Amino acid sequence: MKQLWAPWRLEYVQHADDGDGCVFCRAAGLPEDEPELVIHRGELAFVLLNKFPYASGHLMVAPYRHGSAFDDLDEAEALEVHRLAVDAMAALRSVFSPEGFNVGWNLGRVAGAGIVDHGHVHVVPRWNGDTNFMPVLADIKVIPEHLLETRRKLAQAWPKR
């Protein structure tokens, strides 16, 4: 069995509520996309890069509505979140050619949710051999590209509907 380990995220998860306000609401409310790494804005939900990624291209899809837990989404929100996750995989395929994806919700702090008050789905591209010795031996995660460059590439590659 292969496992995805990200022990460096524990400090973030333990202190995620210490910041000022909701990161998703802040990103949704800004007129510019780059500062909060927003890739695409839909009608009811939007897509942004994770600032604490498991892998290059790790992004999240969140409804605009705060407090929108997985089981609180109305039908239109659920459909748009799903469609944006599908579009996110298409953009990631065209830019990074991943061999697979982890897509999912972390529901509750004990399930790994760093932000529990604003529902969101993770889309994490995966490649064979994408884990290495750096996190294990040095507690360092290597992300080979600046997040702003990744945001730019994915925004340009976003599928047109």
What distance in Å separates the CA atoms of residue 12 and residue 96, rounded to the nearest whole number?
26
- Residue 66 falls in the annotated catalytic set: no
The residue annotated as part of the active site, out of 15, 120, 122, 146, is: 120
Residue with structure tokens 């496992």?
A: 3
**What CA–CA distances, in Å, run from 98 to 53, 76, 126?**
15, 29, 6
Token pair, residue 80, equals 């748009």
**What CA–CA distances, in Å, run from 147 to 2, 3, 98, 152?**
27, 24, 17, 9
Residues marked active site are found at 120
